[in-house]
Amino acid sequence: MQNYIEFKNVTKEYKIGKNTLKAADKLNFTINKGEFVVILGPSGSGKSTLLNLLGGLDKVTSGSILVDNNEVSNYNEKQLTKYRAYNIGFIFQFYNLLPNLTAIENIELLNDIIDKKIDGNEVLKQVNLEHHATQFPSELSGGEQQRVSIARAIAKNPSMLLCDEPTGALDSKTSYKIIKLLHDLCKKENTTIIIVTHNASIAEIADKIIHLKNGQIEEVEIIDNPKNPDKMEW
């Protein structure tokens, strides 16, 4: 199977006064197209830094990141904007919905960014929220808001979804529904899903687990027979 994502000696440094913090320290790993990948590690281990580098939200200090044989770590701002707009779907812990827009408006806002015409109702049907289309985020539960954010992320059919603690603000029952939805997208649509979390339960259904500590990779686990989401233990 061909590598879809490849990190080659990726390092990200931040200058804090006279000190240098290595948020990512010579990261090396690969991810295949359509894999369900979980990145595990304690707070401050570099999980979100890794996701931001892959998503083009931050620049590497050294090393290279390849996506579909393109060295995205060398992209200029114009190229990065296009890369984020068409290739990446972002899902965050706190939804990032615009409070003054309805659910469908939060999705169809993408029509101002990309060329493809998005039908918000059709996307909301995919996450079983079409009956909430005209409601504002404040009128939705946490799980419903997260499903709207997922609908927005998948509306443009991105090649990968980058998820930063997508269930961190949800109860266990709702968390299961969100993870099941993401897993189904991965397996049915061949979307590459990468989830940053400290919840080891989610790793039970992963094809690959990347363990981080202090900005370094401790281990990359390849799971030959991951659990079905229905067998997850929360």
Number of domains in the chain: 1
CB 207, CB 31: distance < 8 Å: no
Q: Which two tokens stand for residue 83?
A: 């890369």
C-alpha to C-alpha distance for 95 and 166, rounded to whole angstroms: 8
State residue 31's pLDDT score.
97
Going edge to edge, which strands form the sheet with 216-222? 88-92, 160-164, 192-197, 36-40, 208-213, 216-222
Q: Which two tokens stand for residue 214?
A: 């202090």
State residue 136's pLDDT score.
97
**What pTM, to 2 d.p., does this model score?**
0.91
Domain that holds residue 214: 3-231
C-alpha to C-alpha distance for 189 and 197, rounded to whole angstroms: 23
State residue 1's pLDDT score.
56
DSSP 228: P
Q: pLDDT tens digits for the chain (234 residues)? A: 578 999 999 999 998 888 888 999 999 999 999 999 999 999 889 999 999 999 999 999 999 999 999 999 999 999 999 999 889 999 988 889 999 999 999 999 888 878 778 899 999 998 889 999 999 999 999 999 999 999 999 888 899 999 999 988 888 888 888 899 899 999 999 999 999 998 888 999 999 999 999 999 999 999 999 998 887 776
Burial per residue of 203-212, b for 16 or more beta-carbon CB atoms within 10 angstroms, e otherwise: bbbbbbbbbb
C-alpha to C-alpha distance for 205 and 170, rounded to whole angstroms: 19
To which residue do tokens 């993870």 refer?
A: 179
State residue 234's pLDDT score.
66
- E strands within the chain? 3-16, 19-32, 36-40, 62-67, 70-71, 88-92, 160-164, 192-197, 208-213, 216-222
Give the HSE-up count for residue 216: Cα atoms under 13 Å, Cβ half-sphere: 2
Question: What CATH number is associated with residue 16?
Answer: 3.40.50.300
